[in-house]
Amino acid sequence: MLPLSLLKTAVSQPMMVELKNGETYNGVLLSCDHWMNLHLKDVILTSKDGDRFWKIEECYVRGNTIKYMRVPDDSRGGVSRAAAGAAADGEADGEAGAAADAAADGEEEVVDAESMDDEPLGAL
């Protein structure tokens, strides 16, 4: 559940989303749901070739079209704290521990949406 936790902590943060068709969306995340559908504002859409740009006030990106996402490093801190709290409660699984370790490295998180199922992730 790391990708969804990461997205929830990245609300109100700038992010970059690349779609499977090659287009990229750079904007501020307003919300996300269990299917990783994203609602972005102040978006700059870049064509696949990188030669055309559009400014969009708000847009909605369907989760199953996403190839990968890039979020700021500071968004990962919230995931680390949540993972550490879950581990203290005995509710953490191996993924949460790995999230805390990865966040401690100070690297930017890239979420690979292609490896995820199209099925709902379930309740958090």
pLDDT, one tens digit per residue, over 30-62 is 999 999 999 999 999 999 999 999 999 999 999
Pairing status of strand 24-32 against strand 110-112: unpaired
pLDDT at 40: 97
Distance CA 2, CA 86 (A): 12
Secondary structure (H, E, C), 7-76? HHHCCCCEEEEEECCCCEEEEEEEEECCCCCEEEEEEEEECCCCCCEEEEEEEEECHHHEEEEECCHHHH
pLDDT of 122 above 80:
no
pTM of the model: 0.62
Looking at per-residue confidence, does 120 or 37 come out higher? 37
Mean pLDDT score, 21-34 = 96
pLDDT at 63: 94
Complete domains list, the chain, with CATH: 2-113 (2.30.30.100)
